[in-house]
Amino acid sequence: MAADWLGSLVSINCGPTLGVYQGEVSSVDQSSQTISLKQPFHNGVKCPVPEVTFSAIDIKELKILDIRHSNSKTCSSAAPKVGSAPVAIPKGDPRSVEKLNSPQHCSKSYGSSSSRGINQVTPKKNGVKNGQMKHRDDECFGDGLDEELDTDFDFEGNLALFDKAAVFSEIDTSERRNGARSRGTPQEQAPSRYRHDENILEAKPVVYRQITVPQPGAKEYCTDSGLVVPSISYDLHKRLLSAAERYGLSLERRLEMTGVCASQMALTLLGGPNRFTPKNLHQRPTVALLCGPHVQGAQGISCGRHLSNHEVEVILFLPNFVKMLDAVTNEVTLFTKTGGKQVSNIKDLPDTPVDLIINCLDCHENTFLMDQPWYRAAADWANLNRAPVLSLDPPVSGQSQAVEAKWSLSLCLPLPLAEGAGRVYLCDIGIPRQVFQEVGIKYHSPFGCKFVIPLHSP
């Protein structure tokens, strides 16, 4: 039946003169032996006319590209299944146009006119492979697909059938029956959100006063995390160091620890990693170190040694004394091995401002040093140099300080410092907790992961 071929896509070769035409079969006339194509393409170019009619005499070869039907059975001896490779029907073959209406066997085909456009009638290079895969799919899954799936799936309607509250209620009931923890239902209030730095695990409440002393000092400080750090008197400070020395924390160990912590703080004040790089060695910072002939001076010299080892230009001012502590002499010997500069006269200090001044002139016990000419000269030079000052282990409040500091570094626990001490920092010199307990101090380390921490006035 000629009507069964309507809508099929074919390619008609009319020889080198007329060329090749492709299009959709619009009519087949058996009596006149003609076939018409609508929306035809001639040699790959769309024709200006909507329909072209061919006579069987002019057709050299006919290829069936696609058989288009809608839920109908077609019968053909030459028609392949949908999606198979094109079949060539040369002229003179009994399956030519005049025999298209003489079927010998039947095959099922399904409409696909809505999924292809007329611009896709030319078969692709891999059409044979795709046709074979389609043929296999039809053999495996073709049964029972006589009807088209024209209706779209209603996702919203299907979701509305899902009773979310009932399902969560059933899950909650089941978990409670089994002793498991409930996930909660949508009606329950959502839990509060946590910050990135908060612990979601339940913990004991934080006790911010973890350090208590037998005799509270005149001042209290607090850390960045809110822990309270009380100050102690100088007498309690001396008893704490004496107890630590009995357990093996000698003066040399304390000097080394203090020097490391103070130098680390000084390196940070000088610029830290932004300044101390291999590409910046031509701009070495300069530090003036003012020291006296006492333990505080020895701590400063230890700090200067570490700074000099880190490519800092250190100028140590230490007057010539007839008698000095052995600790000071030992630290000076080590300092000279680093290549640092040592002067004993104020006139040898730089006239231009330096990057940092470390003040270690003051002593906790000997306040008469402030009357010495070298002390007054060094203090005047520091005040006129206009460089920031870091005081190392400054004296307690009540003792006058000739040099006003921007920062002060206290050891283990702070002393009640005067207002001229600037911003107070605290360093850990390694005293064990049991040593604190021996002198009556309930101690819990406030340092965390650091050895130097800032302190704030409450």
Q: Which residues are 54's β-sheet partners? A: 35
DSSP 351: S
Do 60 and 89 contact (CB within 8 A), yes or no? no
Q: Which residues are 23's β-sheet partners? A: 10
Taking the alpha carbons of 385, 381, 456, 454 in that order, is the dihedral positive or negative?
positive
Distance CA 408, CA 426 (A): 8
Distances (CA, A) of 139 to 8, 145, 293: 22, 11, 103
Other C-beta atoms within 10 Å of 215: how many?
10
- Look at residue 81 in the predicted model and tell me its pLDDT: 37
Q: Which residues are 108's β-sheet partners? A: 73
Spans of the chain, pLDDT less than 70: 1-2, 68-151, 179-192, 199-204, 217, 281-282, 322, 397-400
Taking the domains of the chain in order of start, what are their residue ranges? 2-141, 220-454
Beta strands in 56-113, from DSSP E residues, in sequence order: 61-66, 72-75, 87-90, 106-109
Other C-beta atoms within 10 Å of 339: how many?
10
Query: Is CATH 3.40.50.10260 what the domain over 220-454 is classified as, yes or no?
Result: yes
Q: Is it true that 2-141 and 220-454 share their CATH fold?
A: no
- Look at residue 129 in the predicted model and tell me its pLDDT: 52
- Write the class of the CATH domain 2-141: mainly beta
Do 275 and 232 contact (CB within 8 A), yes or no? no
- Look at residue 260 in the predicted model and tell me its pLDDT: 97
Distances (CA, A) of 217 to 235, 414, 428: 11, 9, 19
Buried b (16+ CB within 10 A) or exposed e, 217-248: bebbbbbeeebbbbbbbeebbebbbebbeeee
Identify the CA nearest to 34 among candidates 2, 8, 64: 2
Do 21 and 9 contact (CB within 8 A), yes or no? no
Element (H, E) at 269: helix 251-269
Do 255 and 454 contact (CB within 8 A), yes or no? no
Question: Model pTM?
Answer: 0.57
Distance CA 350, CA 343 (A): 11
Distance CA 108, CA 69 (A): 9
